[in-house]
């Protein structure tokens, strides 16, 4: 156990001891620090297993030695902090946590209300019975009040003068009342189904509609077997993508908390328990691959490739300038390959070439919008990315050029033998070219004005003009068949 004296000034009244994880902050420093280490060194997972053999306190210490936590970015329970500031005037306030002292001390310094810190030290894990023993030895039986948030804190409340409970619901305070006098409850809101739906990004499943493109392009919409396979492929990709979204959010907490919008994501904001994230991510991934066994083995291979690539993107590739947008375009194109594999169809050169250019343009839009937002906020460099605001003109020119290349591919397809074999009136498809030119030009113009949604795919779905153009395009294609 590490004892850190932060203020030797004595105050009257019963000392107030405050837990950290889940109480002072809406997070867990062990999970936070472990995820931070894994984001930089994925193979450190195996080291953690070795460290754990020497005890949880040793594990916490070894992780703390290898990470640098920003205490200002943590999701705090501000109601508790405000109350602690009121209490500080007439009694001693102690941060008593199972987190390692190297992480707990900076948090205490940042909050600025604590007189001392009691924390784990690599040998003693200051939780449960150990915490109760240390506090009793230091302040005496019933000689302290304790603020906690978990069932394990019942061991501490048994020896406390009063219990102050941080909870969602009433179960914990009811249990605490049986072993101590409950002086106060702090009710915190936990994310429910809506928070989980946001974390899983169910709305992003719209991107997986791309698996239906090979079905549409091969004119097999009324083939029940092919349609069923495409629907299953859509569901499988959605589950796999949600698993990756969770993993990405867990590994990118620090960067997300510095982003104007991403800081409101459920894990970054502390609305969902961090420890539940990895378990749900694994469950979704296992379910996705279990369902994929009902589809051709080529589809399983594509799904595995998608998972590896998107995981590599989340862990490392998104930080490499230009490679990140190429990988994003490739991930969209992989969905088309998956749709092709699901229906036992041959990949279309024209469809793949078109998708690479159009999605590279949209990926560039995404980065362009992010950099414009940074520029307006007076910042120079994107956190966790390889770009700075000086790259804005370059990204704009490359992105718009890629979009126009997609129009060129479409034009060449109209005059190819491939279109002649699939359409009775392929020359009607020429009308798609000006539509696409207009949509790409308009998309970049909106982005240039700074009013584009930071996800251009979501923009394409929600934008009224885009939907109208989509209907017109569908009528043109239908007329050409």
* CA 358/CA 365 separation, integer angstroms: 11
Determine the pLDDT at residue 1: 54
Determine the pLDDT at residue 5: 55
Given a cut of 70, whether residue 3 has pLDDT beyond it is no
- Domains of the chain, first to last: 2-187 (3.40.50.1000), 192-347 (1.10.357.140), 365-481 (no CATH)
pTM for the full predicted model: 0.80
Determine the pLDDT at residue 370: 86
Task: Tell me how far CA of residue 295 lies from CA of 25, 113, 210, in angstroms.
Answer: 45, 59, 17
Q: Which of 461, 416, 470, 414 is nearest to 438 (CA)?
A: 470
Which of 77-81, 370-374, 453-457 ranks highest by mean pLDDT? Answer: 77-81
Which of 41-45, 61-65, 196-200, 465-469 ranks highest by mean pLDDT? Answer: 61-65
Determine the pLDDT at residue 34: 95
CA 178 to centroid of chain Cα atoms: 39
Determine the pLDDT at residue 193: 87
Structure tokens at 172: 């914990």
Q: Which residue has the higher pLDDT, 149 or 218?
A: 149
Determine the pLDDT at residue 463: 87
Q: What are 156-167's pLDDT values in tens digits?
A: 999 999 999 999
Q: What are 391-434's pLDDT values in tens digits?
A: 899 999 999 999 999 999 999 988 888 788 778 888 899 999 99
Cβ-contact 22, 28 below 8 angstroms: yes
Determine the pLDDT at residue 10: 45
Task: Name the average pLDDT for the chain.
Answer: 90
Per-residue confidence at 8, pLDDT binned at 50, 70, 90? Answer: very low
Determine the pLDDT at residue 175: 95
Cβ-contact 448, 371 below 8 angstroms: no
DSSP 438-464: HHHHHHHHHHHTT-S-SSHHHHHHH-H
In percent, the amount of the chain with pLDDT more than 70 equals: 96
In percent, the amount of the chain with pLDDT more than 90 equals: 63
Determine the pLDDT at residue 269: 87
* CA 104/CA 65 separation, integer angstroms: 13
Given a cut of 70, whether residue 289 has pLDDT beyond it is yes
Structure tokens at 477: 């294609």
Mean pLDDT within 14-28: 95
Determine the pLDDT at residue 383: 61
CA 216 to centroid of chain Cα atoms: 32
DSSP single-letter state for residue 150 = S
């Amino acid at each position: 156990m590490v004892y850190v004296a932060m203020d030797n000034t004595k105050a009257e009244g019963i000392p107030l001891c405050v837990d950290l994880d889940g109480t002072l902050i809406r997070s867990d420093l062990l999970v936070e620090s472990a995820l931070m280490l894994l984001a930089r060194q994925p193979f450190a997972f195996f080291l953690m297993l070795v460290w754990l053999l020497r005890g949880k306190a040793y594990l916490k210490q070894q992780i703390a030695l290898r990470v640098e936590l920003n205490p200002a970015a943590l999701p705090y329970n501000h109601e508790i902090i405000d109350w602690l500031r009121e209490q500080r005037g007439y009694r001693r306030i102690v941060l008593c946590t199972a987190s390692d002292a190297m992480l707990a001390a900076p948090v205490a310094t940042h909050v600025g209300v604590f007189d001392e810190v009691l924390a784990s030290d690599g040998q003693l894990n200051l939780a449960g019975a150990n915490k109760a023993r240390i506090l009793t030895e230091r302040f005496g039986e019933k000689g302290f009040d304790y603020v906690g948030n978990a069932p394990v804190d019942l061991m501490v409340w048994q020896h406390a003068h009063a219990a102050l409970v941080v909870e969602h619901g009433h179960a914990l305070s009811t249990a605490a009342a049986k072993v101590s006098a409950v002086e106060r409850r702090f009710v915190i809101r936990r994310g429910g189904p809506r928070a989980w739906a946001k974390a899983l990004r169910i709305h992003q499943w719209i991107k997986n509609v791309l698996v239906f493109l090979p079905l549409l392009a091969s004119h097999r919409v009324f083939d029940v077997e092919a349609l069923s396979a495409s629907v299953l492929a859509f569901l499988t990709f959605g589950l796999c993508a949600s698993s990756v979204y969770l993993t990405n959010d867990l590994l990118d907490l620090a960067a997300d908390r510095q982003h104007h919008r991403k800081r409101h994501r459920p894990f970054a904001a502390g609305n969902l328990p961090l420890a539940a994230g990895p378990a749900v991510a694994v469950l979704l991934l296992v379910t996705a691959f279990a369902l994929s066994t009902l589809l051709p083995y080529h589809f399983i291979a594509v799904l595995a490739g998608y998972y590896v690539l998107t995981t590599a993107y989340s862990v490392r590739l998104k930080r490499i300038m230009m490679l990140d947008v190429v990988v994003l375009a490739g991930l969209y194109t992989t969905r088309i390959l998956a749709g092709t594999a699901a229906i036992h169809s041959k990949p279309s050169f024209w469809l793949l070439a078109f998708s690479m250019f159009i999605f590279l343009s949209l990926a560039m839009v995404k980065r362009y919008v992010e950099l414009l937002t940074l520029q307006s906020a007076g910042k120079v460099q994107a956190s966790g990315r390889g770009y700075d605001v000086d790259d804005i003109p370059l990204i704009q020119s490359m992105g718009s050029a890629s979009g126009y290349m997609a129009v060129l591919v479409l034009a060449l397809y109209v005059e190819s033998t491939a279109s002649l074999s699939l359409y009775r009136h392929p020359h009607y498809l020429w009308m798609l070219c000006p539509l696409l030119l207009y949509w790409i030009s308009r998309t970049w113009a909106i982005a240039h004005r700074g009013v584009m949604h930071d996800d251009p795919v979501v923009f394409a779905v929600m934008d009224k003009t885009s939907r109208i153009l989509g209907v017109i395009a569908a009528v043109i294609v239908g007329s050409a068949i």
